[in-house]
A and B are shown apart, each in its own frame.
Chain A
């Protein structure tokens, strides 16, 4: 079974969705049973995904559990999947967040439950596919496939402006990925020109690039990098391509927001790390100053705009722009600390922001409002909620010994010496202010929502969390603590893969080298 684990993981949710559909045709089927089916399959997927950890203790260098079959023979597309230390954790993050999302929809979703849960399961399948695909066409397929369920989740089960948000989300991201498709096809032809065989296989492409069998002209690399990066930067989202995010987040149902923040955004940074760095190392270095500048603007801009939001969910959404800016900053520092920190920050953001959206969903379900001014003094009627919400907020703020700190610290540490930018310490100092702003917007929000005097009758009568709600956030809270106190378990397993990805950039095997003024500085650090 171990050998087919990835295929099983991709197919299991699809089977779950099919089971749900089949069940709805059986006589006496009840809508409310579908959530049990979804919970069962997502939990099973999570447990199976833990098997990926087997044998990964010493760190993973190459892709493991690979499967590689012809898929569309006519164009040489293959079904090629595998995990390394980078995708490993993202797959597990996905499978972890899914049962939690299903549980968070338990009572919140009342209309069209069969369709809702079927879409959730299909979404999971697509997301796992994105993180394990090693064939560019397959990757593109999953990347686009993840759009469709999310489009419907927002458009059907969303808030008041759901149609606007869903369409904006769809068009924004579809435009980006179409560009990537052009890039993928271009790579195919370039490879065909160079070697006589066209391929979409990532492993083959990188191999021929490294060996020099296929060389990208600087100009080609420039454009191809842009085509890929555009798709990924919209997903991240990198400033100023972020304006779909807060609409989609705000209007999506709670589970949609959790998945959007927890997993979909990571597809962008994962794509940059895997494909842009792996395929276009020279262009990656060339564009690093631009990417870092945008990332730092995003960190500060996202935080400042989050600060003045009247809507809690929108505030958390804008904070994502800030946090994901850190991830991009870390990636483009091209140091071990930075890239490891970026990967870790992806996981952290999934856990912390996912949890924050869950909490916002819980009070929305009770009060049917997300406006900060409608709340106040929740600590009295809802002590457990308040405790947990404060812990999740502190994790988002980056309090040491909670998960956020480790990632952000490593990223800032590395950006200081990033050879990509002149005067990198200025970048670091600016990025560092993001941590101050995070405290400002989160604590100000807490002050108005959780603390103070209980402002209204409606708030005073709110019920505290029930067992289901505690059960669904507790894993995330424990994970925040664990990831903050003992990050080695995660960092050790991703070390080798991240280092391999970094080597490609730091030591270009062949071809033109872009002037790297401060490379020696970074070398000295290692």
Chain B
């Protein structure tokens, strides 16, 4: 049954591609596209929540289709699996995806490539769900590259936009650089497991097929040391670093983030679906899926945390100074993704996934809201020409307020719980190879980022919905009075506002599934953190030796690891996976600390909103620092230091000098020599074509003669 989740959108894509181009009826095309994703959504919810569903049982739901590649001990299946992690991902991907499909039927109305757009969008759903539900590394990679392809096609969707095709190419190539790391990481997983005699790249045990879980095999290995050398040692740390390189590409982290802002050249629903809610969080999914690998590689974890924190802060500062509404959201996405990696880096994988989910809600909401604004403003994206839109687009305004409060981290909105959870986990992370002060420093970076986030999001809201109505001024600039009526901003149709409302509700209440104990217990009782309880069994936790004073004890799914060389590498946790008792109630002291930090988070959010409000309310067009406006000139630096040298070196050096000059030069010298010899010997003038004939003849004669001679001597030598 699982297979229908991925094949329904695939069928939708094929139908729209082959038939939709003939039908050219928006109603039919939209129905096929939304219907196919709707089917996936229903099946995903059914499989997740039925009595023995993926989220309720500890056993994943498996579906083996066929053996894809099998050579020697290497085996990769086309097999799907839904466990608690992929279940949660599949749920929000299908649901948010469905809403965005519906939104797009309105947003893309009247576009010439309607069928093409929805065919690509459905194909994306197929690839994304394959990525998430694939039961082994290589199938995940299929989805991984598949979403990259769809992203490429959709960024380049607007053929008239000159920046679209280069942006699409840039996205694919940046992703390819990351994928290089991912592929090598997969190979190294294979080698590490085959060295233990259980060659596998599968995430799960599949006893019927004789496949063991590679993750379980690696979980049974000793933990790598916290050294820089471990990165190059070819062990678990190397695997983790290589996989993380893959994640930096897909999830737009330093240094490969440059493609995501450019990707905004695609249609806005694409930005919402692919470049905010789902695809870009694939890197976080991969890290969570491979938590068994990462928790065994403290050096890699450290790198993940540093890169995540740096990206979060870096992108937030750029976001402050952008004027294109979608660019602000793009940098905001990069920044929030940095947050998620920061969480992964300190071992808070569950908090990272929680933030992925809430971010999917509120960022999809914000992007669709911005799409609604762009739609209502007749494809104007520059916030300097907006302002005062709340009067004209009340539904868009109200729903975006929800998204705004959520991303800023105002309590009860979804972003508060997930962001606060991350900050608390970073603050309280044990000394896992890290110097004691490091986690506090990382927390500080996270806190500053939160402040900046609140400021730039308030700026965005202020410039768009409040203040003077600057769109009129621009029209008067053009001096054409009659255009005013046509350019009057208008509210979007129902097909667009309904998804906005649903996402706004989710941005508001979606965080309640993961309220931490410290906060939920304020209301009394002993409530559980549903989200954490659900995911805990499938995520390896960081061995917290220092704070607990106990032996290193990661969780894992199943089975308990084998002993290695007679001594247990890592002892399994006593409780059965998934049982409620595995969750320990934190000490009162910790609870107080957590509550205090939550209060600090709230203050940061409110301060940020206050600053944003008072600064940009008065001066919405305040000139921002040039360095930030120009994005630190990163694109220019890459171009000058990497792209141009390679281009020029290849063209001038390799091709013209080496290929045409050196190699062919040598050959021509030999050839000319032969011709000249031929002329001398024959005392004969030859024409152009016959000259070549002479080359052949003379060359062949000389060669045959030479080899006959040397061949004979070799022969003599050999026979001897």
Residues in chain A within 8 A of chain B (CB atoms): 163-164, 167-168, 170-171, 174-175, 178-179, 181-182, 185-186, 189-190, 193, 217, 219-220, 223-224, 240, 243, 301, 304-305, 307-309, 335-337, 340-341, 377, 379-380, 394, 399-401, 406, 409-410, 412-413, 416-417, 425, 428-429, 432-433, 435-436, 439-440, 443-444, 446-447, 451-453, 485-488, 491, 495, 524-526
Contacts and interface: CB of A to CB of B under 8 A. Distances in A.
A412 B188 CA distance: 11
13 contacts: A163-B692, A175-B699, A178-B703, A307-B650, A400-B142, A409-B183, A412-B187, A416-B188, A428-B187, A451-B164, A452-B162, A525-B191, A525-B194
Interface stretch (B289-297, B329-337, B416-424, B651-659): B651-659
Contacts of B179: 435
B17 to A, nearest CB: 9
B717 A219 contact: yes
B177 interface: yes
Contact of B715 (A186, A379, A452, A488): A186
Given A451-B156, A453-B160, A443 B172 contact: yes
Contact of A432 (B138, B183, B689, B696): B183
Contact of B74 (A186, A337, A436): A337
A205 B421 CA distance: 73
B159 interface: yes
B165 A452 contact: yes
A413 B718 contact: no
Nearest to A190: B718
B585 interface: no
B536 to A, nearest CB: 32
A130 to B, nearest CB: 21
A301 B74 contact: no
B76 to A, nearest CB: 9
B72 interface: yes
A443 B187 CA distance: 26
Contact of B718 (A181, A186, A412): A186
Given A305-B655, A380-B159, A182 B714 contact: yes
B146 A410 contact: no
B527 to A, nearest CB: 44
Interface stretch (B22-30, B62-70, B549-557, B608-616): B62-70
Contacts of A400: 138, 141-142, 145-146
Contacts of B145: 399-400
B681 interface: no
Contacts of B209: none
Interface in B158-204: 159-160, 162, 164-166, 168-169, 172-173, 176-177, 179-180, 183-184, 187-188, 190-191, 194-195, 199
A305 B146 CA distance: 27
Given A436-B177, A436-B180, A491 B647 contact: no
Contact of B176 (A243, A337, A425, A439): A439
Contacts of A168: 667
A4 B331 CA distance: 69
Contacts of B156: 451
B73 A435 contact: no
B659 A305 contact: yes
B494 interface: no
Nearest to B712: A182
Nearest to B148: A399
Contacts, number: 175
Interface in B117-169: 138, 141-142, 145-146, 149, 152, 156, 159-160, 162, 164-166, 168-169
Which among A308, A453, A525 has the greatest number of chain B C-beta atoms within 10 A?
A308
- Which are the 6 A-B pairs with shortest beta-carbon distances? A182-B711, A308-B651, A451-B165, A304-B650, A336-B72, A400-B142
B714 A223 contact: yes
B448 interface: no
Contacts of B172: 439, 443
B647 A487 contact: no
B159 A377 contact: yes
Contacts of A439: 172-173, 176
A343 to B, nearest CB: 11
A30 B159 CA distance: 46
B4 to A, nearest CB: 18
Interface residues of B, number: 71
A200 to B, nearest CB: 15
Contact of A485 (B68, B180, B654): B68
B664 interface: yes
B633 interface: no
Given A337-B72, A401-B142, A417-B191, A435 B180 contact: yes
Contacts of B695: 167, 171
A41 B711 CA distance: 41
Interface in B204-230: none
Nearest to A429: B184
A265 B177 CA distance: 29
B655 A308 contact: yes
Which among B179, B647, B655, B704 has the greatest number of chain A C-beta atoms within 10 A?
B655
B705 to A, nearest CB: 11
Interface in B64-97: 66-74, 78
A240 B166 CA distance: 33
Contact of B719 (A190, A304, A307): A190
A240 B671 CA distance: 18
Interface string B354-378: 0000000000000000000000000
B397 to A, nearest CB: 36
A335 B663 contact: no
B718 A220 contact: yes
B707 interface: yes
B184 A304 contact: no
Nearest to B715: A186
Contacts of B191: 416-417, 525
A377 to B, nearest CB: 7
B169 A491 contact: no
Contacts of A487: 68-69
Given A524-B194, A526-B73, A432 B162 contact: no
B279 to A, nearest CB: 16
B188 to A, nearest CB: 8
Given A182-B707, A452-B162, A487-B69, A308 B650 contact: yes
B718 A219 contact: yes
Contacts of B173: 436, 439-440, 443
A305 B195 CA distance: 39
A304 B646 contact: yes
B234 interface: yes
A331 to B, nearest CB: 14
A228 to B, nearest CB: 13
A167 B714 contact: no
B696 A340 contact: no
Which among A168, A413, A432, A452 has the greatest number of chain B C-beta atoms within 10 A?
A413
Interface in B588-633: none
Given A178-B707, A491-B71, A432 B655 contact: no
Nearest to A193: B719
Interface string B687-720: 0010010011001100110011011001101110
